[in-house]
Amino acid sequence: MEDQAKLLYKTLKGDKIIVVVLDGCRYDYFKEFMDCDVVLSRGSSTPEWLLKTWTDYYDGVAYVTANPFINDKPNDRGWNGAEHFPHIEKVWDWGWTKVKGVPTVPAENVNKGVKKVVEMDYRKIITHYMQPHPPYVGKIVLPIETFVHARFKAKGVKNAPVDKLRYWDVDVETLRLAYKYNLEYVLEKGVKPLLKEFSDFKIVVTADHGELLGEYSNFGHPDGLNVPELRHVPWRWL
């Protein structure tokens, strides 16, 4: 299986490139929507993926992100986006709102971030959507893992609030269906409009890591766990 990081480095040597990162997207669920290759992520969580994948300085690359772990100052693992990219477009800051009453970053706002950096003449762009990572805002709405806590921490706020509803409060079948619908949401509201608006760019879709949805009696995406549900991610040129 190919090393995703090496593919990313090779891809970003091109011109007019958009790398779409679907946060927490499993290869097997993605393949229900479109065919794709499977590649090996270097991490089973976003912080681990950042530390092990983005290790150099990537001149000319803008990082548009809905995830507050990607910041222009050190996150709680010590990874600092400003040391690796000339521009971090923090959609998690200005684009944070509610979808169906749930606090999150809508896919549409990430696309607005892409438009901003294109207007700044960036031609190599990483576009990191929040979904299908929870909270789930598709046909089944579940306000779990809303990133409220992570966002407040990224803004330097102490004693940040935490979510009341957690993975294990929901039955597994409902959780898995909500995850699938969240993936459908980001493809329909984010990726498809992106492809249409920036048709002059070459676009590839991948993920930082996958997601456990009850497998191994576990949920989410713990660091350092080498299982296919977390390390096998999609790779698809559009």
Q: Check residue 161 and give its pLDDT.
A: 46
For residue 156, what pLDDT is reported? 59
- Residue ranges in the chain whose pLDDT is less than 50: 149-150, 152-153, 160-163
**4-11 helix and 46-53 helix, angle to the nearest 10 degrees:** 60
Span 45-60, pLDDT tens digits: 999 999 999 999 999 9
The domain segmentation of the chain, as residue ranges, is: 4-237
C-alpha 234/C-alpha 18 separation (Å) is 15
Q: What is the pLDDT of residue 122?
A: 98
- Predicted pLDDT of residue 152: 45
Q: What is the pLDDT of residue 53?
A: 98
The answer regarding whether domain 4-237 maps to CATH 3.40.720.10 reads yes
Nearest to 26 by CA among 237, 230, 235, 238: 230
pLDDT at 15: 97
Q: Pairing between strand 136-137 and 87-90?
A: unpaired
Strands (E) across 57-208 are located at 61-65, 87-90, 97-99, 102-104, 124-129, 136-137, 141-142, 202-207
Query: What local confidence, expressed as pLDDT, does residue 217 receive?
Result: 82
What confidence score (pLDDT) does residue 149 get?
Answer: 45
